[in-house]
Each structure stands twice: as structure tokens, then as C-alpha cells.
Structure 1
């Protein structure tokens, strides 16, 4: 067997997990009490096994993909496109997946993640080594205050400050009347004044006029970074706010998914910061491409989360560790929001920063027992299984 044969994709499995959260997590479009990530397990012919993850927030509430659609796309289109093929050519694998299935960025992200993890483990290297090399050894770690209760949020923030885990806090707003949200944020800001940095995420809830009216009040309260205040299509409003809002930075999230989106926002000068999320960009390689546009346009970046387990969080940490340009930390706190994790040990947090793992692969060891424990199929349905040269042996759950 030659070296390249060892990179041939031999088998792929995908399953949906259901993991409760430690508390309700409220956003402008609803509240979630569990996460349902899709976990991909991929074997190379040489024996190495890699894992990938695609997590959504609130099922299909964040974008068009849901755990069920991700599972279906992997089982019926993406896995058959890779099984039997050379897994060492990551760009070629993306091309094959694009040909087999348009869109479906989350599903492709999980597949590419598993592929990179498997190849890196075969080589005995950390994934960041295959992605350009590490620039950062740690990243300041944010925590989202999303209980909706002022006293509970302040208690939560104070505890995490005392533990030296977080001193960047983000608040999810947009579900209530704008004036009520501003009042809520103002109370939190007063409680944290001089202790921490406060950002807000409106999750597309406001129109342009509402944003122009209320964002200055948030800035006056002490907010320094404002994420996606308007709908993803409303680039004109983002542009106007970026040009005129004093004292705070505007961050694009849902508006910037592809490198082409990034180019548009850069040309229009419609954001100060891009929120990078591996799932929405369609994988680690495409995350780097979006980040490259940001760096070229003097736009900062922030390491976002889709509330992944430690698997997806570690993969994100690996690619974030390779990025240059101005950054505003990350929010890879997903594992802390879940009642339990799927890895043997989590990435450490020290001095308010996430310490980035060194591998091999993504540097975390997935627990098969935990996968079985949270597997939605544990009540009778088997995981999707793709063998070299064969189709799925069990149908996808849809």
C-alpha cells in the first residue's frame, strides 16, 4: 500500500445527538433547552479515524439547515461522494461535495472536519499544522448571558469573573420590545462597569430605523460590539450604521457566510468585524478564505460558535489559531452550556482565555460511550453507515 492509499476514505457514519442545556438559552427567535449536533465519524483505509460536527441553534431557526437535513445530505449525497476517494486532497473533496449537493454548508463542514481530523491523526500532527500553522496559543473567551433575568445574569457573570474564565460577556436581545431590551442591557452594563467588556447580539431582530434609534442608547450604556442588528439582507442598513455609529463596532454574522459575502461587505464598508463560524462558512478551509478577505480589507474577526460540543469547538479553535489580522477573541463556550460533553476532557480555560489544543487531529478524544448515550437513534434506529463503494446501509432520518 502506498502512502496515498492510506488516505482513501473507507467508511463514514453519521448520527444525530440530543444533549440538554444547563439552562434555557434565549435568542431573538426563541429559546433552546437542548442541542442536536450531527456527528460524523470517518475512517481512512490506513486505519485512522476522524470526527466532525455540525451544530445548529434551535434546529432550522438560525438558517435553512436542520439536524435532520444535515443528516440526510450526508447520508445520501456527501458521504457517497467521498467514500473510495482520496481524502488527503481537501479542496478536491470540497469540489466533489459541491458537485454532489449545492449549498448545505453545515453538512459539508462536518464532513470536511472529519476528513481533516483523520488525515492529521494519520500524520500524527495537530490539525492547525495542516491549516497554515499556529499564530495564537490562546484566545480570550466570551460567555453569553442569555437567561433573560437581570439578577441571574449578573450572578452568572460575577461567578465567571471570580473563576477567571470570562471577562467578555455577550447578551442576546431582540425578543422583547427594543426599549425593554435597552433597559435590560443597561442594568447589566451598570453591574459589570469596570469589570468586563459587554457586547450584544440582536440576531437580525431590528429593522434599520429601530437600529438607528436604539443602538446609540446601547453604546451610551457601555456596549462596545454590536452583532447583526438587522436582517442578513439589509446591507445598506449595516453600511449606514458602520459609518455613523460612534463608540462601538458593528459585527456581521448571518450576512457573511461565503467569501463572496465577505467581499461584498468589504467593498461596501458595511462592517467593522466579521463573526467567523466554521459551520456557516462550509468548513475550516472556507473559514480561512473569509478571514483572508477580512484581513485584506482591514476588518477584524471574532471566533463565533453554533454551541458545538468540545469536538466542534476544538476544530474551530484550530482554525482560529491560524488566523492573522485584528481579532476580538472567541465564544467557544458551547461545551459549558451543555449538561455533558462527548470528549474525554475539555479544552482548558485559564486567565480568561481558551487554551488551544495541539493534537493530534483536533486534540480532543471523542468518547464512543457518550456518543451512544446521547444518540437519538438509541431507541431503535441505527446510525447511517457508508462503506467504500456502497450506499447507506440504513436510511437517513428525515
Structure 2
């Protein structure tokens, strides 16, 4: 097994719960399985996964454990999500190549899927700029827009969303993402004010640990999506609490494409809709997330249009975004070439 560190500058600073970052650091993993080479990516993100150092340690001990046991044991005993993601992805890539099928079919979808829908994301900005960005996204072919809220007052964010709805019309799906910024009183007021805008959902209105509060918010009639809550809570626990109408699944944070696919199955069985997103990953993990989305039948627009966050990447992008859709690679395995 080969472990290759990388560092990629971002096109703009990324704010996280643990501070602002200006580059994405991680590891490319290559391993041999069944006579072919699989490639995986571990790109830790503060607040979502283990640290960079802990990720490297987990990857470094994996080859010895595999020689003593097998890769199944390695996956079961690797608790660090980003490290496990790299190992699980590399194995899945190799196995899909051996099976002569693209990764999304290896993950369980027997149908041909050429594209998956994606949403445009608009960050925190004033009302006029928010509307301008929304109009530009629609002109580019997006029919689903997510607007970041929570950094301003509830009234200001409600006004921004109303202006966007008026500008883009009823034919565009509109989402709001608060990133856990509201308390229960603010969230209740916001949902009441937004009830007539036909929002697809409000994402993470309350802090990540307030699962019970999210369950109560669902009574307001506006669908609730959970994202950050899945960084510290098991998917099964969130589903059991009936805290969400949608789950935003990040394969890197969940520990691999296999776990993300299983989480999607569990969500659907519970009547909850899965959405796939990334942790602003490089091309290997980002493409894997596209395959996870393609493995989910009738998946709604996903948060996969994140390549623009990177000023540089590890290789050519086999899953470009155009007209609000992301192309799904049809080559054997992951479909990523010339990385490193």
C-alpha cells in the first residue's frame, strides 16, 4: 500500500467550526487487490473527522494489520472516518475494476446513470448580491439553490430568501442552510416566517447536538435536513429520534462510500430522503461522492458542485458539472485518471 500526502490551496478561505482554513491537506492511498490498483483519498476536516496526524497514523498501521488479518478486519477496526474512507474507497475502486463495472454499480445500482442533479450554493451576502447570484445560477442551468443563512438576523435572512424566491420563481427548488446558527426560539420564528416560500428544506437550523430540538421543529411544516448532527451522532440514532426529513450524507465524514450508501438505504427505509455532499474534497473523494449519489435511485439535487473551492486539484475531473447536473463516470471503478 502506498500513502502519498498532498496539500491543495483553496480558491477562497473556508470557514469551519474549528476556524478558517486556506488549504486542504490529505493523503492519496493506492493498494493492490485482485491484481489491480485501487485509489482512495483521506482528506480530514476539522469538526467533521479525525485530525491530520491521527489520519496518517491510522493509514500507516493498516498495511501491517492487513498482512496479519485481511482488509475486512482493517476496515472494521479503523475508527478514524477519513482514513477509513480512503481504505474503503481504494478497495471498492479495485473490486469494481475486477468486476468490470463503474463504482456506482458496484455500490448496488444496476441501472445506467449518466448524470445526477446538483444544487448551487450561495454564501452569506447582502440581499442584492444574493439575488444576483441566484439569477446567475438559474442562467447556468441550476434548478436547485441553497442559500447560507444564520450569520445575519432572522429578519434579514427571511428577506434574502423572499427576494430569491421572487427572483427565480416557483420552478426552482430553494433550500436554506443555517449551519446550526439558530437557537430554538430563532428557528421557530424563522420557520414560521418562511412557511409560505415552499422551501425544499431548512438544513441544520439548530446546533448539532440538539437532535430533540430538530424533532420538534418538524411540527412547523417546513422540512428539516440534518448535516452537522451526523458528525457526532450515529445515523441510526438520528433516524430513531425522527429528527429529520432529509439527511445530508458526507462519505468522508461517515467513513467511506460503503457506509454512505448504507446510510442512504437506512434513511429511505425510515421514510427520510438522503442527499449526498462533500467535505470540499479533492477529485478522488469528490468523484466517489458522485458515484454514491448515482447509486441512490431518485436522489434529489446533491451538494457535489464543490470543485470550484480548489485552486488546484490532484488530477483531471471526470465528473464535471453542467446545466445543474454532474456527469457520472462510466469507466471501470472510480474513473479517476492521472492523479497525484
TM-score range, shorter chain: 0.7 to 0.9
CA positional deviation for 1:44: 0.9
Instruction: Determine the C-alpha separation between the residues in 2 that align with 1:173 and 1:79.
Output: 44
CA positional deviation for 1:26: 5.3
CA positional deviation for 1:306: 1.1
Instruction: Determine the C-alpha separation between the residues in 2 that align with 1:327 and 1:122.
Output: 27
Match for residue 314 of structure 2 among 308, 332, 342? 342
Alpha carbons 1:310, 1:334 under 8 Å: kept: no
Q: Deviations over 1:147-191 (max 9, x none)?
A: 534444433333332232x22111222233433333333333333
CA positional deviation for 1:330: 0.8
C-alpha spacing 1:177/1:70, structure 2 compared with 1 (3 Å): farther
Matched with 2:116 is 139
Instruction: Determine the C-alpha separation between the residues in 1 that align with 2:212 and 2:124.
Output: 32
Q: Which has the larger radius of gyration?
A: 1
- Structure 1 residue 128 corresponds to structure 2 residue 104: yes
C-alpha spacing 1:191/1:255, structure 2 compared with 1 (3 Å): same
C-alpha spacing 1:50/1:19, structure 2 compared with 1 (3 Å): farther
Instruction: Determine the C-alpha separation between the residues in 1 that align with 2:55 and 2:87.
Output: 10
Matched with 2:211 is 235
- Structure 1 residue 327 corresponds to structure 2 residue 305: no
Match for residue 262 of structure 2 among 285, 289, 304? 289
Per mean C-alpha deviation after superposition, the further-off stretch among 151-160 and 329-338 is 151-160
Q: Deviations over 1:259-308 (max 9, x none)?
A: x8333333332211111111122112211221121111111111122112
Matched with 1:381 is none
Match for residue 182 of structure 1 among 158, 163, 174? 158
Alpha carbons 1:27, 1:146 under 8 Å: kept: no
Match for residue 69 of structure 1 among 25, 41, 54? 54
Query: 1:125-204 to 2 correspondence within 5 Å?
Result: 125-135=101-111, 136-146=113-123, 148-164=125-141, 166-194=142-170, 196-204=172-180
CA RMSD of aligned residues (A): 2.8
Instruction: Determine the C-alpha separation between the residues in 2 that align with 1:221 and 1:313.
Output: 31
Instruction: Determine the C-alpha separation between the residues in 2 that align with 1:232 and 1:303.
Output: 18
Q: Kindly report structure 1 stretches of 4+ aligned residues shifted beyond 6 Å.
A: none
Instruction: Determine the C-alpha separation between the residues in 2 that align with 1:350 and 1:17.
Output: 27
C-alpha spacing 1:218/1:340, structure 2 compared with 1 (3 Å): farther
Alpha carbons 1:227, 1:251 under 8 Å: kept: yes
Alpha carbons 2:134, 2:164 under 8 Å: kept: no
TM-score (norm 2): 0.87
Matched with 1:393 is none
Alpha carbons 2:176, 2:202 under 8 Å: kept: yes
Alpha carbons 1:12, 1:83 under 8 Å: kept: no
Instruction: Determine the C-alpha separation between the residues in 2 that align with 1:181 and 1:70.
Output: 38
Structure 2 stretches lacking a partner, 5+ long: none
SS state at 2:209 partner: coil
- Structure 1 residue 264 corresponds to structure 2 residue 237: yes
- Structure 1 residue 35 corresponds to structure 2 residue 35: no
Query: 1:47-86 to 2 correspondence within 5 Å?
Result: 48-56=36-44, 59-60=45-46, 62-75=47-60, 77-82=61-66, 86=70
How many residue pairs match? The answer is 339
Instruction: Determine the C-alpha separation between the residues in 1 that align with 2:96 and 2:258.
Output: 14
TM-score (norm 1): 0.75
Alpha carbons 1:41, 1:49 under 8 Å: kept: no
C-alpha spacing 1:264/1:46, structure 2 compared with 1 (3 Å): closer
CA positional deviation for 1:30: 5.6
Matched with 1:254 is 228
CA positional deviation for 1:323: 2.1
